[in-house]
Structure 1
Amino acid sequence: MEQTISFVATGDSFITRRLPSTTSESFVELTNLIKSADARLTNLEITTHNFEGYPGQASGGTWAITSPLALRDIKAYGFNLLPWANNHTLDYLYGGLEATERYINEYEFVHAGVGKNLADASAPRYLETPAGRVALIAATSSFHETWIAGDQRNDMSGRPGINPLRHKSVHKISKEKLETLKEIADTVDINAVTKMSIKEGFVVEKKDGKFEFGQYVFAEGSPEGKETSPDPRDMKRILKSISEAKRQADYVVVSIHAHEMQGEDKSVPAEFLKTFARECIDGGADSIVGHGPHVLRGIEIYNGRPIFYSLGNFIFQNETVTHLPADFYEKYGLGNDHTVADGLDTRTENNTKGFGVNEKIWDSIVPVWKMQGDKLTEVKLYPIELGYKQPRYKIGWPTLVKTDRILKDLQELSEPFGTKIDIKDGVGTIVLD
């Protein structure tokens, strides 16, 4: 009989405080669950260093930094796989990236999604377990454009950065609206530079029927709306990594950090993410682990493989960073006399808006799934809460809870994917064919 291997995954770990206890009942219960699996993954959504990098002009929202000792606490939970390609990877530029990687290596995590060049950032990384060899590939679709790792040439070095999943967007509108948009473009000269570049030969004129309105692309079509698709360059590169990993490991896990949503609903993934996940599985991946929007998204079982479109948060402490650069304060009209607490109070309008008042940010699940050879045999879903309504200096630690509330929300989110979840004694079980 083929051996069974088990996996556990979580969403984002944005950790800025040290663990208050490793002996509490709630911590032991959760770590026992995590450590019961062979491959154990959490997304590291923070830089870990002692300010060895300069704060970038752009950040993922909050300039994310914590002490390298936080990695000891991540280790205490039992994780052995760390994807860390996300919208905070270069909050402290290359110095922060290089220092974070150095400390991650010191704590002996298998990590992926970031590297000294594009090939390195795209490469599979391997975890050896008694039940089989597991490959991890990580990418992000949410990033500043300057964070993309650069390709290596034989005459020029590459550039450190993240493994990107870019996407293309086309806004479909009626013929009448498209003509109006063209008139507006001519009136305000929004395409003047592009037109001149075409005349001078620096830009090739597009002849695909699409119309560029500044940085946005429009086309005549019905139904009206926004269509998104993965960038073929990135899709091809990531599929190549999956192909490599599939021939070098028993199982392949793909991690994707993605904020992009359908319309204005964070809980619904953008169309290109669904395309990406399914193509990855068609290409040989055994599971897709998504995170990024800080809320749960639905689960799909596609060709006998799980796609977790978002596992929300595991540790979320974005409002207990100790330092923020001048750019943060200037954004909110504050100056040098103001402190981190002043900045956070201003951003949240004294804790009346933002993440702190959205209960769904602080609810999540920890899935545990098993495979026997090539067959998915079990997917269990364990709800966690992160302390909604606690003060910002206490909130953000996960606790296992026996509740149907979170699982019922997940049932509803997963229904469009044809996924059925049975709930019993506060634990969910996905019904497999």
Structure 2
Amino acid sequence: MATGDALFGRDDLWSRIDHEMSEVLNESEYVFTNAEFVVASRETPVMPAGYTLGANDAAVHALAAVGVTIASLAHNHIGDYGPAGVVQTLDAFEASPIVAAGIGRSLAAAREAVFYEGQDGRLGVVACCTTWAEEYAASDGGRHNAPRPGLNPLRWKLSYEVTPEQFDALRALDEALGTAPAHRETLRIERKFAGDDSTFTFGPLAGGLTVHKGDRARLRWQADEQDLAEICRSIRDAARRAEAVVASIHTHEGEDDGWYTDLPARFIIDSAHAMIEAGAHAVLCHGGHLMRGVEFHQGRPIFYGLHSLFFDLESGARIPEEMFTRYGLPANAYPSDLHGMRRRDEDGTPVGFYSDARFEQSMVVLLDIDPVTGAVAVEATPILLNMNAALPSHRGMPTIAKGDDAVAVRDALARLSAPFGTTVGWDAERGRLTFTG
């Protein structure tokens, strides 16, 4: 049973979850989610690089209570409380019945597959993350440095190809601003590459844009070859040790460098293909908080966007002052001030994640994996996340989509999957989405 992100602030999931939804989760002993929070003590300082998701040990027990047995912890919030928060989160999961993947006290540990031993056999899981992977990656340390706790990274680079005319125009602008000669001098002293006739860096010396001269304007995505090779090596190891293997990718990156585009970034597609070829029976992508399409590669499914199982944005209370001020609020604001302005504008119109059906529609996927032949049968239950429910405690909590709502989920997923040659059907009698690739 594959689900997307589990994001919630209150720990009483069992009392809030819909009865029918609970029955769906109980169909399988093997229930996967991405636990998108950090378990950190009150004494652990926050590292607020963005929207911060702090929780406590009760959040882990809440997931176990609704049936989750396997969780990815490799996500772009795992570093919200620094390396100490990574270790505390890992400790909390190790003390629970949930098997946790994708983070470790060192890079080698974060890379490894984890295994859930169930009645029907052993399931191996390899989890990685692309979003903020560089910042939150684990490290093995060295002769004089301790290992750094963190996530299993799938790092990547984005550069820009432009026409010769555009290249020359950017080069001329760089010279006119005075940045080009200053950067050349800095790079000469630092003994770093300063560019040539076909490539240069435009913009800030730290974090500028790599520009290539080409025949058209386009983005160039490149996954880190060593990261991908190590992830695939872990998948191959898991395939030799388990009856079934799934790979998990936490990713926001989309086509045209957007987080909310229909298609994933090209390097995600290429990486998912490589993971299937390494032995994964399925690849599960999540992170963007919306559905993306489904593809079958070598007969095995890739879900490019599972959206969320829980998307409760409003009950979290561990909000640092910097998070308030980042959204234009005073440092002494209340959580409801932040959550309220992200939910409605001044006129009361829904905004952000509350404004569009694509943030409402999600799914829970059932994978039937034959351990002998490797064949994978796929079906899914469409769900709604009730982002605009009248009661605050109901918002972001899943219920099963029925009737026209279920058909709307099917239609959205069919449109998203069409570029991959996948047909999405609707079995109204059983209440299940079907997939043909």
Structure 1 length-normalised TM: 0.91
Q: Which amino acid counterpart does residue 407 of structure 2 have in structure 1?
A: D
SS at match of 1:255: strand
Cα gap change, 1:251/1:71 in structure 2, threshold over 3 Å: closer, same or farther? same
1:268 aligns with 2:271: no
Pick from 243, 247, 255 the counterpart of residue 236 of structure 2. 243
Cα gap change, 1:21/1:81 in structure 2, threshold over 3 Å: closer, same or farther? closer
The separation in 1 between residues aligned to 2:77 and 2:172, in whole angstroms, is 39
The separation in 2 between residues aligned to 1:251 and 1:144, in whole angstroms, is 26
- 2:276 alignment partner in structure 1: 281
- 2:27 alignment partner in structure 1: 36
1:395 aligns with 2:395: yes
1:46 aligns with 2:48: no
Pick from 409, 427, 436 the counterpart of residue 431 of structure 1. 436
Instruction: Give the deviation of 1:361 after TM superposition.
Output: 1.1
User: 2:48–2:323: 8 Å Cα contact kept in structure 1?
Assistant: no
The separation in 2 between residues aligned to 1:225 and 1:204, in whole angstroms, is 23
SS at match of 1:375: coil
The separation in 2 between residues aligned to 1:238 and 1:187, in whole angstroms, is 44
User: 1:266–1:295: 8 Å Cα contact kept in structure 2?
Assistant: no
1:66 aligns with 2:55: yes
Q: Residue by residue, what CA displacement relative to the aligned partner does 1:300-351 show, whole Å, maximum 9, x if unpaired?
A: 0100111010100110112221131111122234334421222333445356
Matches for 1:110-259 after TM superposition, within 5 Å:
110-143=99-132, 145-191=134-180, 194-200=183-189, 202-205=191-194, 209-214=198-203, 215-259=208-252
Q: Which shifted more, 182-191 or 164-173?
A: 182-191
User: 1:52–1:99: 8 Å Cα contact kept in structure 2?
Assistant: no
Q: Which amino acid counterpart does residue 34 of structure 1 have in structure 2?
A: L
The separation in 2 between residues aligned to 1:112 and 1:393, in whole angstroms, is 29
The separation in 1 between residues aligned to 2:85 and 2:144, in whole angstroms, is 26
User: 1:174–1:224: 8 Å Cα contact kept in structure 2?
Assistant: yes
1:354 aligns with 2:352: yes
Q: Which amino acid counterpart does residue 353 of structure 1 have in structure 2?
A: V
Q: Residue by residue, what CA displacement relative to the aligned partner does 1:212-248 show, whole Å, maximum 9, x if unpaired?
A: 2132122222342212121112112212211222222
User: 2:130–2:154: 8 Å Cα contact kept in structure 1?
Assistant: yes
Cα gap change, 1:131/1:207 in structure 2, threshold over 3 Å: closer, same or farther? farther
Cα gap change, 1:378/1:175 in structure 2, threshold over 3 Å: closer, same or farther? same
Q: Which amino acid counterpart does residue 146 of structure 1 have in structure 2?
A: E
Pick from 407, 417, 420 the counterpart of residue 420 of structure 2. 417
The separation in 1 between residues aligned to 2:136 and 2:14, in whole angstroms, is 36
- 1:99 alignment partner in structure 2: 88
The separation in 2 between residues aligned to 1:394 and 1:192, in whole angstroms, is 58
Structure 2 length-normalised TM: 0.90
Cα gap change, 1:172/1:321 in structure 2, threshold over 3 Å: closer, same or farther? same
The separation in 2 between residues aligned to 1:286 and 1:360, in whole angstroms, is 27
Instruction: Give the deviation of 1:188 after TM superposition.
Output: 2.1
- 1:319 alignment partner in structure 2: 314
Q: Which amino acid counterpart does residue 36 of structure 1 have in structure 2?
A: E
Q: Which amino acid counterpart does residue 425 of structure 2 have in structure 1?
A: D
Unaligned runs of 5+ in 1: 1-7
Instruction: Give the deviation of 1:395 after TM superposition.
Output: 0.2
Aligned residues: 421
- 1:375 alignment partner in structure 2: 374
Q: Which amino acid counterpart does residue 219 of structure 1 have in structure 2?
A: H
Instruction: Give the deviation of 1:413 after TM superposition.
Output: 0.6
- 2:294 alignment partner in structure 1: 299
Instruction: Give the deviation of 1:43 after TM superposition.
Output: 0.4
SS at match of 1:307: strand
User: 1:332–1:347: 8 Å Cα contact kept in structure 2?
Assistant: no
SS at match of 1:266: coil
Percent identical among aligned pairs is 27
The separation in 1 between residues aligned to 2:150 and 2:180, in whole angstroms, is 31
Q: Which amino acid counterpart does residue 342 of structure 1 have in structure 2?
A: D
Unaligned runs of 5+ in 2: none
The separation in 1 between residues aligned to 2:13 and 2:309, in whole angstroms, is 16
User: 2:41–2:56: 8 Å Cα contact kept in structure 1?
Assistant: yes
Cα gap change, 1:421/1:346 in structure 2, threshold over 3 Å: closer, same or farther? closer
The separation in 2 between residues aligned to 1:20 and 1:34, in whole angstroms, is 13
Instruction: Give the deviation of 1:383 after TM superposition.
Output: 0.3
The separation in 1 between residues aligned to 2:76 and 2:99, in whole angstroms, is 20
Q: Which shifted more, 64-73 or 288-297?
A: 64-73
User: 1:355–1:361: 8 Å Cα contact kept in structure 2?
Assistant: yes
